A and B are shown apart, each in its own frame.
Chain A
């Protein structure tokens, strides 16, 4: 059971928009930056978004991040088949412990 809560899966047609929620608490999301990671099938995770809403180098502007209180959201617009992957949120928690969400599988219909 992950400290951060994400929906197990989301799906949409090509070109559409999806959002992935990440819910935490004041000890983690509420007082720390959130980052998002993309894990394509069979590969290592890759940093997508840092500091809640900043895109990592080379990440297209179709990807966006936001945060409000103890929840964060990753948005993907103009969905492409290459976006099919697992997406994880992550952040620091108290006592310098890092926590991840349970991951969300994005499926392009």
Chain B
């Protein structure tokens, strides 16, 4: 199970940290993704962190967002900085599947960036 938290309403230019609590599986052995979805829009991949700590980002967030994990707490994070209005989305965390897919998804947390 994956449970996101930390969403809310923030002003442009500020920061926010999302968390994703994992349970029911060996978190440390899985790569993890963040995927977002703006209201009424398509899924957009945000970031991926391997189980060995390598990190990858979409161009749209590279340099502003940081993905991190704490295996001792079974938790994935997304530190978001210099937020923009177009970062407004539901943010999902998801596991990297064994078949080169994204297989299990959380329910998402809504981030609204507005002045």
Chain A residues within CB distance 8 Å of chain B: 2, 32-33, 35, 37, 39, 44-47, 50-51, 54, 56, 88, 90-92, 95-103
Contact = CB atoms under 8 A, between A and B. Distances in A.
Interface of B: 33, 35, 42-45, 48, 54, 56, 58, 92, 97, 99-108
B105 A51 contact: no
Contacts of A50: 97, 99-101, 103
A44 B45 contact: no
A97 B56 contact: yes
Contact of B101 (A47, A97, A99): A47
Contacts of B48: 96, 98
B102 A35 contact: yes
Closest 7 interchain pairs by CB?
Answer: A35-B101, A98-B45, A50-B99, A50-B101, A103-B42, A44-B105, A96-B56
A92 B45 CA distance: 11
Contacts of B54: 96
Nearest to A45: B105
A44 B56 contact: no
